[in-house]
Amino acid sequence: MNAIDALFQRLRSQGRKAFIPFIPAGDPDLAASAALIEECARRGASLVEIGFPYSDPIADGSVIQASYTRALDKGLKVDQIFAMIREVKAKEPFKSGDVPLVGMVSYSLVHHRGPEAFIKTAMEAGLAGAIVPDLPVEEAERLSLLAASHDFKLIHLVTPTTPRDRATRIAKQSTGFLYCVSVVGITGERSQIPPELMDQLRWLRTQTALPMCVGFGISKPEHVKTLREGTDGVIVGSALVRRLEKASSLSRAELVKDVGEQVAALVAALHEGI
């Protein structure tokens, strides 16, 4: 069984939700990325999403794009990211699959290597699936079939502005979980969760049995408390990545501790009372 399927099966049996942090690879360097991924797991992350830096923004707000730019300016290569993931995957709790790893990657990077070669390399490195935000569902059939043949999860996104007939198609084609975008626009911290999001989540639940995880704009304990009743998990990116801006003034240990403490606070809010 794919590690993502096993994770959500386990969480559902425990009545718990998934906390999914986003860590961009290579900022401030790959050794720090590995340490941050390991710290996230130690602090209670259920699954870790690893960003593959790309030069052109897809849905990334200024915080994540700046992080990607810092990494790319140092000459970061895709094979170096896979090597870092391979090293992390060799350690627990990743080795056993208890904390799956998922890539967030532009389809340009997949296409450049070749879809089959990319999936093979990703799986060998230790990824259980990938989110490809710039691949429309209408053009995803080939990659979906390849991924399914290898039991590699291809996670699709549905947004507040996605027409319902298209959202249903996306929900049916997604595997692993459905990534539910909470707001209109790009990634980044928001002051509050849109109230209409809960209505959308209730409707989506009638369209799929897949786990549904919400991302974009989630940054505070009160956000995760609001969302835990209507979702199977929450994804936090910019609120964590913003801390990487301080990397030049902190030691690696201090940086890892700072991110880890925020992860711990959000995990505690997600599971409060459970």
What secondary structure letter does DSSP report for 33?
A: H
How many angstroms separate the most distant Cα atoms in the chain? 49
SS (H, E, C) 158-217: ECCCCCHHHHHHHHHHCCCCEEEECCCCCCCCCCCCCCHHHHHHHHHHCCCCCCEEEECC
Token pair 């900022």 is at which residue?
27
Instruction: List the catalytic residue out of 27, 39, 60, 232.
Output: 60
Does the annotation mark 254 as catalytic? no
State how far the Cα of 35 lies from the Cα of 172, in Å rounded to an integer: 35
Please tell me the distance from the alpha carbon of residue 125 to that of residue 127, in angstroms, as a whole number. 6
> Is residue 49 flagged as an active site residue?
yes
Amino acid letter, 238 = S
Number of helices and strands in the chain (H, E) = 12, 9
Bridge partners for 18 per DSSP: 233
Given 49, 189, 232, 258, which residue is catalytic?
A: 49
Report the catalytic residues: 49, 60
